Homo-oligomer: A and B are copies of this chain.
């Protein structure tokens, strides 16, 4: 099963467009995990097990592991998701981007070492910087298009001959880079009008949408702008609002309640 097929199956099976982002910050963990060498893994596994039937995918952010020398815990976490929750794809959020020979090494890291099902990547270095990921036929590559941060407009909003740069990227990916159906795009929830523009450009291409929750994106506007004809096509990411919904040892149950509420809110507008 390819990433795209697994995602479509999870949309349906769990009736969910919710992606839970795994950005573990030990400073925000409940006190009882303090000082445990595997605290990051324990924290994330509990979140995963409490929410796996409510999501269409999980998205660990590699920086949060790398800053704590927790590569082994990241690897164990992804293996845990695959073993306990088969069919739920894992996106490694790494925003890679480099020349072909180096991208081959990154692809090895992401797909062979960590066993992720998809990776996020930057389009700035062009098509050949993405091809080494596409050489893994069952994996997905999710290209940055329009990001949800304030500085996102610095480049992405530039006019490149009657359209914005992010629109050009959407077109490029949909028409030239997505030859084998492995691509998707990142489009931030803080700009619903722009999600709609991207949707018109890319047809049914899946969109990963960060920015609801802590970043303030509007769920109704996001879903209405980004859904495909069959009410899917989106991975709507929430990280902090779910991971840190509770502060005490019941954080996993609190995360489940937050994930469930977010999933229902999303489904109301599909």
Binding site for B on A (CB under 8 A): 23, 61, 63-64, 66-67, 69, 71, 95-103, 105-106, 108-109, 112-113, 122-130, 144, 147-156, 158-161, 165, 168-169, 172
Query: Are the CB atoms of A147 and B61 closer together than 8 Å?
Result: no
Set of chain B residues within 8 Å of A61, measured between Cβ atoms: 98, 102, 105
CA distance A122 to B144 in the complex (A): 11
Complex Cα distance A66/B23, Å?
A: 20
Question: Given the interface contacts A144-B125, A160-B158, does A113 sit within 8 Å of B149 by beta carbon?
Answer: no
Copies in the complex: 2
Query: In the complex, what residues of B have CB within 8 A of residue A123's CB?
Result: 124, 154-155
| CA A147 to CA B128, docked complex, whole Å | 12
**Are the C-beta atoms of B109 and A126 separated by less than 8 Å?**
no
CB-based nearest B residue for A123: B155
Q: Which residues of B contact A106 (CB under 8 A)?
A: 63, 66-67
Q: How far is the CA of A169 from the CA of B103 in the complex (A)?
A: 23
Residue among B102, B108, B148 making CB contact with A23, cutoff 8 Å: B102
- A113 CA to B150 CA, complexed, in Å: 28
B155 lies within 8 A of A67 (CB): no
Q: Given contacts A71-B71, A95-B97, A95-B98, are A126 and B105 in contact (CB under 8 A)?
A: no
Given contacts A102-B23, A123-B124, whether A169 and B149 have CB atoms under 8 Å apart is no
The complex places the Cα of A169 from the Cα of B99 at a distance, in Å, of 19
The 9 A-B residue pairs with the shortest CB-CB distance in the complex, in nearest-first order: A126-B151, A126-B154, A63-B105, A128-B151, A67-B108, A67-B105, A99-B149, A127-B151, A66-B109
**Complex CA–CA separation, A71 to B109 (angstroms):** 12
- Interchain CB contact under 8 A, A64 and B155: no
Q: Which of B105, B122, B128, B172 contacts A97 (CB 8 A)?
A: B122
Contact residues in B for A105 (Cβ distance below 8 Å): 61, 63-64, 66-67
Instruction: Name the residue on B nearest A148 (C-beta).
Output: B99
User: In the complex, what's the smallest C-beta–C-beta distance from A238 to chain B, in angstroms?
Assistant: 14
A95-B98, A158-B160, A161-B159 known; A125+B147 contact, CB < 8 A: yes
Residues on B with C-beta less than 8 A from A144 are 97, 124-125
The interface residues of chain B lying within 8 Å CB-to-CB of A95 are: 96-98, 122
